[in-house]
Amino acid sequence: MEKFDVAVLGLGGMGKTHTEAAKSSPYVDKIYGYEPDQARREERAKELEIIPATLEEIMNNPAIKFVSIAASNAAHFPLAEAALKAGKKVMCEKPMGDTLEEATKFIELKNKYNGFLQVGFELHYSTIYQRAKEWIDQGLIGEVVNIQTRYFCCEFHGKNTWRSNSTGSFLIGEKLSHYLDLQRWFMGCNPATVYSVNAPNVVPYFNHHDNHNIVAKFTNGGVGVLNFMMYNAETLHKDPLVDMLTQQSDDGHFLQYMICGKKGAIETDVFRRRIRRWAFSDGEKHMESKIVETVTYKPEDDQVWIHNTAGQNVRILELIAQGKGPEVPPEDAYESMRYCFAAAASEATGKIIDMSNF
C-alpha cells in the first residue's frame, strides 16, 4: 500500500485530534505540524510526536499530499488558499470562512485548482445522526416537515480567548453551523427564508451573542427551529461534548433534535445517550403516536456516536488514498454556511432573509 505524508496546520486542541487520526490511518507515513510561532510549533510538535515545519516547507514538500487545517477560524481561508494553490488535498475545520464572501472564495479556489476540499462537518460521521438519517431515508417517519433543535450548555470558552473575543453572531458559524447543517441534511432541501433574534447577553465578557433563536422556512414548506444558549447549565470548564458526565444529563445541558415527519418522529438526545423513534397511526378518535424504537449507547462510545472528528479524518485519508472525491462536497458545506450567514444577517438587521436574493 502506497503511503503519503500529511501536515496538520494549527496544533491546539483540534490539532491534537487531527494528529491522532492521522497516526491511526494505515495510509499515512510522516506527519508534519505547523504553528506560526516557532517556539510553540516546536513545543507542540514534541508533545504530539510529529515533525515541526514552516508553512513554506510544507507547501514545497511534494511528499505531503494532504493538509488538515485545525487552526483558529481567521486562519482557515488563507491556509486553505495556500494549500490548494500548492496542489495539496485539503480538509478544513468548520466554519468555511467568516463571511459569505469568504465561503464563496473557498468554492472559487477549489474550482480554480480542481482540488480536493472537505469541510469538517463531522456530524455526518457520528452514529447518532447517521442513524437518524438512515431512518429518514428508509421512509420510517415519512416526509420531514418540522425540525426542532435545542442546544443548551454551560459557558466553557473562557475569558479573553479567541472565541470569547470574537464579535457579533460568531457562534453561529463556530458552533451552530454543525446543527444547521444537520437540519438541511435531515430536511433534504435548503431554507427559503431565515429569521433569528437574540436575547440580551448573560455572559458579561463575551464580545458576541451568547444565545441564538433561529427559525427557517424550508423550500419543501417545512420548518427548522434552533434554540441555543450558552450559560444555563451547571458549570464545567471543558467542552461538555468531549468530556460528558452522567450528571450533565440532568443539570440543564440539552442537545436534542425532534425531527417530525408526516408518519412519525425521531428524537436524538446527546446528553441522555439515546435515539428514539415514534410512529403515527390513525386511531378511532385520535391520531395515535407510539415510541417504537429506542437505541442507547455506552459512555465509552460517546465520541463515535456524537462527535466523530477522528472517524471523519480517518475516512478522508482513506478517500484520498483511493483517489476518491470528498464525501461531504464543499458545495453542500457552502449551502450550510449560507444558512448560517443568513441567520447572522437577520440578527444584525432585524429582517427576515429571503434566500433567493442572499
Q: According to the binding rule CB under 6 A, does residue 313 interact with ligand NAD?
A: no
User: For residues 239 and 156, what is the distance between their CA atoms, to the nearest angstrom?
Assistant: 6
Q: Does 158 bind ligand NAD (CB under 6 A)?
A: no
Supply 80's cell numbers: 486553505
Q: Which of 71, 84, 187, 226 binds ligand NAD (CB under 6 A)?
A: 71
CB 35 within 8 A of CB 7: no
Q: How far is the CB of 305 from ligand NAD (least distance, A)?
A: 14
Amino acid at 351: K
Identify which range of 68-76, 148-156, 225-233, 347-355 contacts ligand NAD by CB under 6 A: 68-76
Q: What is the DSSP string of 68-116?
A: EE-S-GGGHHHHHHHHHHTT-EEEEPSPS-SSHHHHHHHHHHHHHTT--
**Closest CB to ligand NAD belongs to which residue?**
12
Q: Closest distance between ligand NAD and the C-beta of residue 247, in Å?
A: 22
8 Å CB contact between 319 and 141? no
Give a three-class secondary structure readout of 327-357: CCCHHHHHHHHHHHHHHHHHHHHCCCEEHHH
CA angle 129, 23, 13 (to 5 degrees): 65
Stretch that binds ligand NAD, among 72-80, 146-154, 179-187, 194-202 (CB under 6 A): 72-80
* Piece of 8-16, 109-117, 229-237, 316-324 that binds ligand NAD (CB under 6 A): 8-16
Looking at beta carbons only, is 344 or 355 nearer to ligand NAD? 344
Is 34 or 152 the residue whose CB approaches ligand NAD more closely?
A: 34
**Is the CB of 120 or the CB of 222 nearer to ligand NAD?**
120
Q: Are 313 and 68 in contact, with CB atoms under 8 Å apart?
A: yes
Task: Report DSSP letters for 304-319, one per residue.
Answer: HHH--HHHHHHHHHHH
- Least distance in Å: CB of 154 to ligand NAD? 16
Number of residues that bind ligand NAD (CB under 6 A): 23
Residue/partner pairs of 96-100 with CB below 8 Å, 24 or more apart: 96/330, 96/333, 96/334, 96/337, 97/173, 97/337, 98/73, 98/74, 98/173, 99/341, 100/337, 100/338, 100/341, 100/358
Between 268 and 309, whose beta carbon lies closer to ligand NAD? 309
Using CB under 6 A as the binding rule, whether residue 93 contacts ligand NAD is answered as yes
Please give the Cα distance from 246 to 176 (Å, whole number): 24
- Between CA 275 and CA 309 the distance in angstroms is 20
Q: Is 128 in the site for ligand NAD (CB under 6 A)?
A: no
Q: Is position 165 an interface residue for ligand NAD (rule: CB under 6 A)?
A: no
Q: Does residue 120 interact with ligand NAD by CB under 6 A?
A: yes
In the complex with ligand NAD, which residue's Cβ is closer, 241 or 352? 241
Question: Do you find a cis peptide bond into 26, omega within 30 degrees of 0?
Answer: no
Q: Write the interaction track for ligand NAD spanning residues 9-48; mark x where CB under 6 A is met and - where it is not.
A: xxxxxxx------------------xxx------------
Residue 134: partners with Cβ closer than 8 Å, 6 or more residues away: none
- Which residue do the cell numbers 496544533 mark? 11
Count CB neighbours of 171 within 10 A. 22
Nearer to ligand NAD, 120 or 191 (CB): 120
Nearest-approach distance from CB 191 to ligand NAD, in angstroms: 22
Q: Is 72 in the site for ligand NAD (CB under 6 A)?
A: yes
The angle formed by the CA atoms of residues 128, 223 and 258, to the nearest 5 degrees, is 30
Quick check: 181 binds ligand NAD (CB under 6 A)? Answer: no
By CB under 6 A, name the one of 166, 196, 309, 313 that touches ligand NAD. Answer: 309
CB of 126 to ligand NAD, least distance (A): 9
Using CB under 6 A, list all residues that contact ligand NAD: 9-15, 34-36, 70-73, 75, 79, 93-94, 120, 122, 162, 174, 309
